[in-house]
Amino acid sequence: MTNTSSPIAFLFPGQGSQVVGMGKELADNYPIARRTFEEADASLGYKLSQVCFEGPEEKLKLTEITQPAILTASIAAFRVLQEKGVTPQFVAGHSLGEYSAHVAAGTFTFADAVRTVRNRGKYMQEAVPVGVGAMAAILGMTLDKVSALAREAAQGEVCDIGNINSPEQIVLSGNTGAITRAIALATQRGAKKAVNLPVSAPFHCSLMQPAQDRLARDLAALSFRNPSCPIVCNVDAALVTQADAARDALIRQVTATVKWEPSVRLLIDRGATLFVEVGPAKVLWGLMRQIDRSKTSLSVADEASLQKTLAQVTTAA
């Protein structure tokens, strides 16, 4: 299959996209997808595939299981697309998804990535005692206004911008008290919605520094290569083409803001018109519609979405 004449960007989802049953249909239908799950099982020393396919949901939601699970489901879908001749000119991933993007670009091996994100999840969970941190989504408020109320809500605690997801959605991360105050301020000041997120730790804020320090040691020991295609890194919303820059960006990412909207806008500026979310759920597909509805946005998570994407890519070629 030939690719489209305009650049394709593959987008890989992060934590929160997990769903029981993810990847099962592709694993049942495509040996390459099944082998991907088997490789994850062997790398981790337990049946991650069983948790992905059958649950229980409570187990799948444990951060150190969620992270390798989403990575594996995403790479299984990516490898099926690759086998069908669909290759990206750019890749990007939301938080955890940046690891999937690097596997797709060959920066490091899938087996190394699976083990690294298991530890990443563990370190992030252990960095802050349960109940001490929280995250909140603020909808329908500009970044400037959310930044201002975050500074006001902090009162000596941490209240950082965790994610810039779209023009409609900013996520705050920090101490529980500060996040509670921020929700109240956002509600008073006309946010469409301000709600706590069901997360087990305050990701992408300065409270994650202990996790970042531990992960830095793991990443330093990992073998990195220059990626085969440019990757947009979360932390800078900039293109990464070198191994050392990739490693540095993944380290800094743990405490830094996920600059997702600026990352997608960079891809648009570079000429990408076709965006394919590769992995479970359609979270990034939904954000894409908030960022720029004029671009073609597809997803691949199961047989139906795969066939729809293949049909559209062939038509556009």
For the annotated catalytic residues, the residue numbers are 95, 204
Asked if 80 contacts 300 with a C-beta cutoff of 8 angstroms, the reply is yes
Nearest to 5 by CA among 305, 272, 309: 272
- Furthest C-alpha separation in the chain: 57
Q: Is the peptide bond before 56 cis (omega within 30 degrees of 0)?
A: yes
Three-state secondary structure readout of the chain: CCCCCCCEEEEECCCCCCCCCCCHHHHHHCHHHHHHHHHHHHHHCCCHHHHHHHCCHHHHCCHHHHHHHHHHHHHHHHHHHHHCCCCCCEEEECCCHHHHHHHHCCCCCHHHHHHHHHHHHHHHHHHCCCCCEEEEEEECCCHHHHHHHHHHHHCCCCEEEEEEEECCEEEEEEEHHHHHHHHHHHHHCCCCEEEECCCCCCCCCHHHHHHHHHHHHHHHCCCCCCCCCCEEECCCCEEECCHHHHHHHHHHCCCCCEEHHHHHHHHHHCCCCEEEEECCCCHHHHHHHHHCCCCEEEEECCHHHHHHHHHHHHHHC
CB 250 within 8 Å of CB 112: no
Partners of 91 in the β-ladder: 10, 231
CA distance 116 to 145: 36
Pair of tokens at residue 175? 């101490």
